């Protein structure tokens, strides 16, 4: 505020100097008046002896329209700058009075002081005191505009060259100012905000919200009339516009809600679906709580060295702040993956996993590192059959077995607490590795074949996970491979279908042991895989698996549970899913898994075993 006051004072002084100059152009010139008087006296002396004397007409002084406009513009500029300084001083005084002291007084408790501060902040927001700074800047901007327009008009009668130069540069500045004011309408994160931006926000969102409200009210009227005809009863309260008018209170928020809401209404969505649309529109977008795009580029350019040295930071970023669906995130991980020096340091991320969160962060970090891609990287992968992706990955693969053992220990602890987060992360990583296995063309079996290094690294990671008892893939069928290594080395068949459904079974079994508690397992791959890839629960869309083998003991045990059996038998969207506590994701996953095995053979085996015991 102090800077605004100082600038306003200096600017007002500068404009006042020009105003004094322009004052001469709207007031009579005393020299000219003196000459007119002398001319009248001379003419009177010469005609004093004449019998008749003709009247001498002296035209009154009339300032030019340009002079009047210049004086008016510069006068308003001085007034606006002085009002800006006055408002700045008043705002500064109001804020200092509301904020009080920075530290609580000795006689006042900390709680009371905090409540007083809260009340002051609420009052400042309620009465718009926090917006007065924008008004101060707006008045100063208006004063500058008025001065430049007046200066262009003032110079025009004197000489065309300075007038054109001033007008041209002023016009360019005005265009840039308007562009800077408009950009925030399309990019809310843009820092180029001006007082004009607030006006444009109000006009744009106000217009959009008003039009949407009119359309919404029209739809309500049509529905109300249809309801009256159907029920043969008129209820005028159905035409109450207050619910629609309430949207005008916050045009920015309402515009975000009304657009999908109108689309849902016109698509004849149910009331539950419309409620979900509104809730989803009111949720903060990922960009509000995630780091991506320009923010991630800024961090990468200035703090990447420090981030790489801090495993905890990278784990937290991968677990909470990054999303592969956001712009710039894949580029960030591709750049990490293509640097040998960085990959050597990244091995620290997989050391000393002392908590479930640390294990989840490390797994998610590896998942993003493996799956990251961009157009340039895809070109190099196609030329090397995915070997380029894994060029420096052995530094991490070499420490992965010991890391997997630590993850197994943390996973056992998590299951005892009913937490499936870690098992969800492991299953999602497996699904990513299954996807990368499918990117490799053919079956390269020797080092001189392109794709051999990629295939070897993927096999090493999958084998290391399966070597840990708490992370081992469960068998869905008695015919499934006992050893994952033999499955992966068999080039006669594609190992991915068996890996996919066994991965789904392993996660579902963990969720079942935790009583189907809600968690990330319903969307295990959200944020951690590039946009457009299928999630692990959609494995059935990629692989056709026929029910060939007899269900394993683990499989039959899972489907013997009453809630699992009822959920698998229920039709998609059935109300029974809600009563059982299992959602549509679990129902579809169980049905897909059940279709891979033969339960009749398992039941006959169980019956024969029971008869033998009797």
Domains of the chain, residue spans? 2-45+61-158, 196-283, 289-545, 546-614
Chain position carrying tokens 């005028």: 236
Least confident interval from 100-109, 366-375, 444-453 = 100-109
CA gap 611, 614 in Å, rounded? 5
The answer to whether 435 and 371 have CB atoms below 8 angstroms apart is yes
Cα gap 199→270, rounded to integer Å: 37
| pLDDT tier for residue 49 given thresholds of 50, 70 and 90 | low
Neighbours of 482 (CB within 10 A): 8
Closest C-alpha among 93, 179, 161 to residue 132: 93
Contact predicate 458/465, CB 8 Å:
no
pLDDT higher than 80, residue 115 = no
Tell me what pLDDT residue 201 has.
85
The pLDDT score that the predictor gives to residue 287 is 43
pLDDT (0 to 100) of residue 614: 36
Rounded average pLDDT over 358-375: 94
Alpha carbon distances (Å) from 544 to 494, 500, 592: 11, 11, 10
Residue 318 CB-density burial (10 A; 0-12 exposed, 13-18 middle, 19+ buried): buried
**417 HSE (CA, 13 A, CB side):** 11
Mean pLDDT to the nearest integer, 538-557? 85
Q: Which residue has the tokens 């999958």?
A: 462
Token match 């992706």: residue? 389
What pLDDT does 436 receive?
94
- Considering only 126-135, 358-367, 448-457, 549-558, which range has the smallest mean pLDDT? 126-135
Task: Answer yes or no: is pLDDT of 56 > 70.
Answer: no
pLDDT at 288 over 60: no
Cβ-Cβ contacts under 8 Å for 346 (sequence gap 6 or more): 308, 314, 336, 369, 395, 396
Predicted local confidence at residue 75, as pLDDT: 87
The secondary element (H helix, E strand) that includes residue 259 is helix 251-266
Angle between the N-to-C axes of helices 251-266 and 195-231, in degrees from 0 to 180, rounded to the nearest 10:
40
> What's the average model confidence in pLDDT over 339-343?
91
Nearest C-alpha neighbor of 459 from the set 449, 448, 471, 445: 445
Max mean pLDDT range (49-53, 107-111, 510-514): 510-514
The pTM assigned to this predicted structure is 0.66
Per-residue DSSP letter, 100: -
265 has pLDDT over 50: yes
pLDDT of residue 612: 42
Q: Are 322 and 292 in contact (CB under 8 A)?
A: yes
The band of 96, judged by pLDDT with boundaries at 50, 70 and 90, is: confident
pLDDT of residue 54: 56
Out of 143-157, 217-231, 351-365, which region has the weakest mean confidence (pLDDT)? 217-231
pLDDT score for 458: 95
pLDDT at 475: 92
The mean of the pLDDT values for the chain is 82
3-state class percentages of the chain: helix first, strand second, coil last, to nearest 5: 70, 0, 25
Mean pLDDT of 44-56: 59
How many H helices and E strands in the chain?
Answer: 28, 2
pLDDT band at 306 (very low <50, low <70, confident <90, very high): confident
List pLDDT tens digits, range 67-83. Answer: 888 888 888 888 888 88
CA angle 124, 130, 133 (to 5 degrees): 145
The pLDDT tens digits of the residues spanning 3-14 come to 767 777 777 778
For residue range 565-590, what is the model confidence (pLDDT) as tens digits? Answer: 888 887 765 555 555 557 788 888 99
Mean of pLDDT values over 408-433: 94
User: In the structure, what pLDDT confidence band is assigned to residue 611 with cuts at 50, 70 and 90?
Assistant: very low
322-335 pLDDT, tens digit each: 999 888 899 999 99
């Amino acid at each position: 505020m102090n800077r605004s006051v100082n600038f306003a004072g200096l600017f007002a002084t500068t404009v006042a100097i020009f105003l004094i100059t322009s004052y001469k152009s709207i007031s009579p010139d005393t020299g000219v008046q003196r000459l007119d008087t002398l001319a009248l006296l001379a003419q009177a002396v010469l005609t004093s002896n004449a019998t008749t004397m003709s009247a001498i007409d002296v035209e009154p002084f009339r300032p030019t329209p340009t002079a009047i406009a210049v004086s008016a513009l510069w006068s308003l500029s001085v007034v606006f700058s002085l009002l800006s300084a006055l408002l700045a001083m008043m705002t500064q005084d109001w804020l200092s009075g509301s904020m009080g002291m920075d530290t609580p007084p000795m006689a006042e408790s900390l709680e009371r002081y905090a409540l007083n501060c809260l009340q002051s902040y609420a009052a400042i927001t309620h009465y718009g005191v926090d917006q007065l700074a924008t008004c101060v800047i707006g008045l100063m901007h208006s004063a500058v505009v008025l001065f430049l327009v007046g200066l262009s008009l003032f110079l025009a009668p004197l000489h065309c060259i300075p007038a054109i130069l001033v007008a041209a540069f002023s016009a360019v500045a005005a265009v840039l100012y308007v562009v800077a004011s408009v950009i925030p309408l399309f990019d809310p994160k843009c820092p180029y905000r001006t007082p004009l931006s607030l006006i444009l926000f109000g006009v744009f969102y106000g217009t959009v919200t008003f039009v949407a409200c009119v359309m919404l009210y029209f739809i309500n009227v049509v529905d109300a009339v249809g309801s009256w005809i159907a029920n043969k009863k008129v209820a005028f309260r159905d035409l109450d516009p207050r619910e629609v008018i309430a949207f005008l209170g916050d045009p920015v928020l309402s515009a975000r809600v009304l657009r999908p809401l109108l689309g849902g209404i016109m698509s004849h969505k149910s009331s539950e679906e419309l409620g979900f649309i509104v809730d989803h529109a009111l949720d903060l977008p990922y960009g509000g709580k995630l780091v991506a795009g320009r923010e991630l580029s800024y961090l990468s350019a200035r703090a990447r060295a420090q981030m790489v040295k801090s495993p905890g930071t990278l784990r937290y970023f991968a677990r909470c702040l990054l999303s592969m669906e956001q712009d710039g995130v894949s580029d960030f991980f591709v750049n990490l993956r293509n640097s040998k020096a960085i990959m050597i340091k990244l091995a620290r991320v997989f050391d000393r996993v002392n908590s479930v969160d640390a294990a989840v962060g490390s797994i998610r970090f590896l998942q993003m590192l493996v799956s990251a891609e961009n157009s340039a990287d895809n070109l190099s992968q196609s030329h090397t059959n995915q070997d380029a992706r894994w060029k420096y990955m052995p530094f991490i693969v070499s420490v992965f077995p010991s890391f997997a053992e630590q993850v197994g220990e943390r996973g056992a602890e998590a299951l005892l607490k009913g937490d499936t987060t870690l098992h969800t992360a492991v299953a999602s990583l497996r699904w990513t590795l299954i996807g990368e296995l499918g990117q490799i063309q053919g079956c390269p079996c020797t080092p001189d074949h392109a794709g051999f290094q990629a295939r070897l690294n993927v096999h090493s990671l999958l084998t290391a996970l399966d070597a840990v008892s708490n992370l081992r893939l469960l068998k869905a069928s008695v015919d499934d491979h006992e050893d994952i290594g033999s499955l992966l080395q068999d080039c006669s068949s594609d190992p991915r279908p068996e890996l996919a459904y066994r991965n789904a079974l392993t996660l579902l079994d963990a969720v079942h042991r935790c009583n189907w508690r809600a968690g990330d397992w319903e969307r295990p791959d959200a944020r951690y895989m590039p946009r457009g890839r299928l999630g692990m629960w959609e494995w059935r869309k990629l692989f056709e698996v026929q029910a060939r083998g007899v269900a394993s003991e683990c499989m039959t045990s899972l489907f013997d549970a009453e809630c699992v059996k009822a959920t698998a038998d229920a039709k998609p969207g059935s109300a029974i899913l809600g009563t059982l506590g299992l959602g549509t994701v679990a129902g579809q996953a169980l049905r897909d898994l059940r279709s891979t095995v033969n339960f009749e053979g398992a039941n006959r085996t169980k019956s024969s075993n029971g008869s033998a015991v009797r």
